[in-house]
Protein backbone atom coordinates (compact mmCIF):
# COMPACT_ATOMS: atom_id res chain seq x y z
CA UNK A 1 0.00 0.00 0.00
CA UNK A 2 1.13 3.52 -0.73
CA UNK A 3 2.03 5.91 2.07
CA UNK A 4 -0.71 8.08 3.52
CA UNK A 5 -0.24 11.76 2.69
CA UNK A 6 -1.66 14.21 5.21
CA UNK A 7 -1.69 17.97 5.63
CA UNK A 8 1.12 19.62 7.59
CA UNK A 9 -1.07 21.73 9.90
CA UNK A 10 1.64 24.24 10.86
CA UNK A 11 2.66 24.88 7.25
CA UNK A 12 -0.98 25.05 6.13
CA UNK A 13 -1.79 27.65 8.80
CA UNK A 14 1.29 29.64 7.82
CA UNK A 15 0.37 29.59 4.13
CA UNK A 16 -3.18 30.73 4.94
CA UNK A 17 -1.79 33.65 6.92
CA UNK A 18 0.75 34.60 4.25
CA UNK A 19 -2.00 34.67 1.64
CA UNK A 20 -4.58 36.34 3.92
CA UNK A 21 -6.97 33.41 3.40
CA UNK A 22 -9.51 31.63 5.55
CA UNK A 23 -10.38 27.99 5.03
CA UNK A 24 -13.67 29.08 3.44
CA UNK A 25 -11.92 31.48 1.07
CA UNK A 26 -9.34 28.85 0.09
CA UNK A 27 -12.09 26.26 -0.47
CA UNK A 28 -13.86 28.72 -2.76
CA UNK A 29 -10.67 29.29 -4.78
CA UNK A 30 -10.20 25.52 -5.02
CA UNK A 31 -13.86 24.91 -5.90
CA UNK A 32 -14.27 22.37 -3.09
CA UNK A 33 -16.45 22.33 0.00
CA UNK A 34 -14.90 23.82 3.15
CA UNK A 35 -15.60 20.51 4.91
CA UNK A 36 -12.98 18.89 2.66
CA UNK A 37 -10.33 21.20 4.09
CA UNK A 38 -11.62 20.99 7.66
CA UNK A 39 -11.43 17.17 7.52
CA UNK A 40 -7.85 17.33 6.28
CA UNK A 41 -6.93 19.89 8.94
CA UNK A 42 -8.83 18.57 11.97
CA UNK A 43 -8.94 14.82 11.37
CA UNK A 44 -5.67 14.42 9.47
CA UNK A 45 -7.72 12.77 6.73
CA UNK A 46 -6.02 11.91 3.47
CA UNK A 47 -6.86 14.08 0.46
CA UNK A 48 -7.17 13.06 -3.14
CA UNK A 49 -4.33 13.99 -5.47
CA UNK A 50 -6.72 16.32 -7.31
CA UNK A 51 -7.50 18.20 -4.08
CA UNK A 52 -3.81 18.45 -3.23
CA UNK A 53 -3.09 19.88 -6.69
CA UNK A 54 -5.92 22.41 -6.35
CA UNK A 55 -4.54 23.48 -2.97
CA UNK A 56 -1.03 23.90 -4.32
CA UNK A 57 -2.35 26.00 -7.22
CA UNK A 58 -4.63 28.13 -5.03
CA UNK A 59 -1.74 28.89 -2.66
CA UNK A 60 0.59 29.67 -5.55
CA UNK A 61 3.01 26.91 -4.60
CA UNK A 62 5.42 25.03 -6.83
CA UNK A 63 5.87 21.28 -6.92
CA UNK A 64 9.10 21.75 -4.93
CA UNK A 65 6.93 23.05 -2.03
CA UNK A 66 4.85 19.85 -1.86
CA UNK A 67 6.90 18.27 0.93
CA UNK A 68 6.49 21.43 3.02
CA UNK A 69 2.70 21.39 2.87
CA UNK A 70 2.14 17.64 3.09
CA UNK A 71 3.53 14.88 5.29
CA UNK A 72 4.21 11.36 4.06
CA UNK A 73 3.22 8.71 6.61
CA UNK A 74 4.35 5.21 5.73
CA UNK A 75 1.82 2.45 6.21
CA UNK A 76 3.04 -0.79 7.72
CA UNK A 77 1.25 -4.04 7.07
CA UNK A 78 0.04 -5.58 10.31
CA UNK A 79 -1.26 -8.71 8.61
CA UNK A 80 -3.09 -9.54 5.40
CA UNK A 81 -6.23 -7.63 6.31
CA UNK A 82 -5.07 -4.77 8.53
CA UNK A 83 -2.67 -1.88 8.15
CA UNK A 84 -1.22 0.49 10.69
CA UNK A 85 0.46 3.86 10.29
CA UNK A 86 4.14 3.96 11.17
What is the chain's alpha carbon radius of gyration, rounded to the nearest angstrom?
A: 14
* CA neighbor of 59 nearest in space, from 25, 35, 34, 36: 25
Give the residue ranges of DSSP H helices in the chain.
9-18, 23-30, 34-42, 49-58, 66-69
What does the pLDDT look like over 49-63, one tens digit per residue? 999 999 999 999 999
How many angstroms separate the CA atoms of 57 and 8, rounded? Answer: 16
| pTM summary value | 0.79
Residue range 4-85 in CATH 3.30.43.10: no
Q: What is the structure's pLDDT at 63? A: 92
Contacts of 25 (CB under 8 A, 6+ apart): none
- Rounded Cα–Cα distance for residues 63 and 61 (Å): 7
Structural domain boundaries of the chain? 4-85
Highest averaged pLDDT of the listed ranges 29-33, 42-46, 76-80: 29-33
Amino acid sequence: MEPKITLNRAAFTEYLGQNNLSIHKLASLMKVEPSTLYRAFNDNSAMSSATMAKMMNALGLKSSDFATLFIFKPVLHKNNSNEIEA
